[in-house]
């Protein structure tokens, strides 16, 4: 039997209302809030998901949507 690593990647999104003086301030406020755990994407809206199976024999992984 061979050993494989399975990688699953999901892209999720969510919309948040931010009060700010301008777009750059809104981005900074949102980034800080995200890093502080105040803006959370889960469960969020699943945009896409993909999977790759990687062999431990140095083969290239092939990503597939599922």
Q: What is the pLDDT of residue 25?
A: 98
Cα dihedral: 20, 24, 26, 28 (round 10): -120
The region that residue 58 occupies, defined by phi over 0 for left and psi between -120 and 50 for alpha, beta otherwise, is left
Instruction: Note down pLDDT in tens along the chain; length 66 residues.
Output: 888 899 999 999 999 999 999 999 999 999 999 999 999 998 889 999 999 998 876 667 788 998
Q: How far apart are CA 7 and CA 55, in angstroms?
A: 11
């Amino acid at each position: 039997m061979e050993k494989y690593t399975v990688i699953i990647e999901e892209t999720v999104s969510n919309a948040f209302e931010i009060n700010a003086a301008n777009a750059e301030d809104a981005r900074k406020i949102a980034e800080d809030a995200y890093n502080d755990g105040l803006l959370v994407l889960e469960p969020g809206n699943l945009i896409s998901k993909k999977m790759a199976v990687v062999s431990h024999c140095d083969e290239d992984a092939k990503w597939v949507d599922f």
